[in-house]
Amino acid sequence: MDSLFQNMQGIPMNHYLIFCSIIFVIGVIGVLIRRNVIIIMMSIELMLNSVNLLLAAFSAYSGDPSGQVFVFFIMALAAAEVAVGLAIIIMVYRNTKSVDIESLSKLRW
Amino acid sequence: MSAIITLSLLGILILYLGLYKAKNALLPVSILGLVAALGLEIYAWNQTAEPLYKGMVLFDHFALSFSIVCISLTILILFLSKEYFKAISDNIAEYYTLILFSLTGALMVCSYHNFAMLFIGLEIMSVALYILVGIRRKDKASNEASLKYFLMGAFSTGFLLFGIALLYGSTGSFDLAAIKQYILDNPTSVSPMFYAGILLLLVGLCFKVGVAPFHFWTPDVYDGAPILITSFMSTVVKIASFAGFLRLFSTVLVPLNEFWTPVLMTVVIITLFVGNISALMQTSFKRMMAYSSISQAGYMLFAILSIGPNSASGILTYSMAYGLASVIAFGALILVKRHVGSDQFESFNGLGKTNPGLAFAVTVGMLSLAGIPLTAGFIGKFMMFSNVMNDYHTVLLVLAAINAAIGVYYYLRVVVHMYFMKPSEEPVVSLPINFKVVFIVAVILTIILGVYPNAVIALI
């Protein structure tokens, strides 16, 4: 475990920060411009996972395990969210025969 | 803590009751459990408040009073649910369970003392709601609302988490007390990462409470969801999110208020105008209530904008007034829609003649939302405005007064429809006994709070 921490610390903190921010922004852009609901969900997962990586890096740098515990919370709740989300998408698909967000325009935005 | 445990166990118990087909026991058992949880919260009032479970939760008067408000509003809403779910599906135990789980999450959000609990509470609250919004499986509007709520909720969670991660990176802890200590230790050299974290947290929380410019999901979701769920969302969930919002800013981030006040000020001004002007143009009562909830959220943000010793009691009073009035409005909408089949303003026509009691209750609710004296809404608005006045935000005060005037117009439109328009040839709207009880309780509380507000203000 200590050698893992040393390996992680071999890379400067700023690199982790910039890398995670880029992944997060890719996720945000994906949510905003893609029209397919499945791909939007994938983009949201990308956002959450960039947070996971960032927390793990911070935790390794400060030698404080609570950041890694938080990662487990995020994983568990993200899984719960995806389970509910896929169920909702199936429900929508049965009614509209489409997973395109444009097909849902009964309510005005 | 015992209330949270009671509610979680109650949810599981209700699921089992549903499994063994004890349909008639569902509502009484839920209400009994909620009353027990309420009793436990009141019992905890006089105990010393210190962070429990390694600083995860803190049950001070702030947390307890918001929890009590949330539980009481849920009891009122569940009273309205009799007969309501049966029209939707045969398996109604799940709906009660989901509402109870969502309430459990709301209590956690009210009482967190560590970002882990804030995150878990928000997620428990929202995931249960994603399902509840979509319980009309064949109805496309309900489907669409559910999907939009899910996507927006998950998206905002991402922002919230990134903010939390940045705060953790700069302070090395998730604990509110430790983060506060970090700010006090380095008042001039707070790392830039911390500021970025505050902004991202602000975006995430603004999404959750539904204020402009992050409000665009609110009207669609409130409109598409079943009315009972809308009333739960716009009262309990919103109040709990505000409690979480206020707790973070009033205990931890106060020393940095020069940084975030201008941002929040912009948000408040946009929210007030967007909410009120869009509400003016609606023809549907339900959609009008959705936009009105946006503008009410704008008023509630006043307490966070001019943070001080009075903020907590101000937001508590405001949220009680808003919650009671919303329960009245949505309860009346359930009855009217069941009868006429539409949620337009026209369906309220002539209610003053055919059903004076119901019309009176709706009138009190609307006056309270508009902030007319002798109702709870007036006291709430008064406290918010006087908070802001003490901080000399004069421009904001003028804009808020203009918006309050716009609000009076669209809230009283319903009253005009009820008393001055001719009724259609429908027979009298029937008023079941459970609705009667809820309306009487809510109206009496609204008036008591309006005449004698000190009872609540002294609480926190």
Q: Which of B94, B101, B138, B144 to mutate to test the interface with A (most CBs of A within 10 A)?
A: B144
CATH of the domain at A43: 1.10.287.3510
CA distance A37 to A26: 16
For chain B, the distance separating the N- and C-terminal CA atoms, rounded to the nearest angstrom, is: 19
Q: Which residues pair with B123 in a beta bridge?
A: none
Q: What is the pLDDT of residue A109?
A: 46
Structurally, chain A folds into a number of domains equal to 1
Identity of the residue numbered B311: S
Q: Do A95 and B138 touch (CB under 8 A)?
A: yes
Domain membership flag for residue A7:
yes
Cα–Cα distance, B415 to B409 (Å, whole number): 10
Q: What is the torsional sign of CA B387, B272, B372, B221?
A: negative
> Residue A106 pLDDT more than 80?
no
Supply the angle between the helices B285-305 and B311-340 in degrees, to the nearest 10. 180
User: Which residue reads 């937001």 in tokens?
Assistant: B315
CA–CA separation, A19 and A26 (whole Å)? 11
Q: What is the pLDDT of residue B190?
A: 86
pTM summary value: 0.94
Residues in chain A, how many? 109
Domain that holds residue A54: 2-103
Residue B213 contacts A, CB cutoff 8 Å = no
Q: Of B392, B164, B173, B175, whose CA–CA distance to B265 is shortest?
A: B392
CB B413 within 8 A of CB B370: no
Q: Is residue A69 part of a domain?
A: yes
pLDDT of residue B427: 65
Find the residue in B nearest to A23 (Cα): B162
Over the stretch A77-103, which tens digit does the pLDDT of each residue have?
999 999 999 999 999 999 888 888 877
Nearest CA in chain A to B224: A107
CA separation for the pair B223, B282 (Å, rounded): 12
The reply to whether A35 falls in a domain is yes
The one-character DSSP state at B237 is I
Q: What local confidence, expressed as pLDDT, does residue A1 receive?
A: 62
Contacts of B224 in chain A (CB under 8 A): 106-107
- Taking the C-alpha atoms of residue B297 and residue A81, their distance in angstroms, rounded to an integer, is 26
C-alpha separations of B2 from A103, B10, B39, B107, B369 in Å: 46, 12, 10, 11, 34
Mutate one of A106, A108, A109 to test the B interface: name it (highest B CB count within 10 A): A106
Closest residue in A to B147 (Cα) is: A88
Q: Report DSSP letters for B376-437, one per residue.
A: HHHHHHHHHHHHHHHTT-HHHHHHHHHHHHHHHHHHHHHHHHHHHSPP-S--PPP--HHHHH
- Give B203: exposed, middle or buried? Use CB within 10 Å, 0-12, 13-18, 19+: buried
User: DSSP string covering A42-87, please?
Assistant: HHHHHHHHHHHHHHHHHHHHHT-THHHHHHHHHHHHHHHHHHHHHH
- Amino acid sitting at position A65: P
How confident is the model at residue B349, as a pLDDT?
86
All residue ranges of chain B with pLDDT < 50 are none
Question: ∠ CA B265-B266-B272 to the nearest 5 degrees?
Answer: 90
Q: What DSSP letter does each residue of B120-155 carry, written as one string?
A: HHHHHHHHHHHHHHT--TT-HHHHHHHHHHHHHHHH
Phi/psi region, residue B272 (left: phi>0; alpha: psi -120 to 50; beta: rest), is: alpha
Chain B residues in contact with A81 by the CB 8 A cut-off are 123, 127, 150, 154, 157
Tokens of B440: 């009487």
| pLDDT tens, residue by residue, A27-78 | 999 999 998 999 999 999 999 999 999 999 999 888 888 999 999 999 999 9
Q: What is the DSSP letter of B234?
A: I
What does the CA dihedral B177, B179, B185, B191 come to, rounded to 10 degrees? -170
Domain ranges of chain B: 254-460
Inspect the interface and report whether the beta carbons of B145 and A66 lie closer than 8 Å.
Answer: no
ipTM value of the model? 0.94
Which residues on A lie below 8 Å from B130 (Cβ)?
A: 84-85, 88
Q: H/E/C letters for each residue in B30-42?
A: HHHHHHHHHHHHH
| Contacting residues of A for B148, CB less than 8 Å apart | 104, 107
Q: Is A24 touching B (CB cutoff 8 A)?
A: yes
How do the residues of chain B divide into helix, strand and coil, expressed in percent and rounded to 5? 80, 0, 20
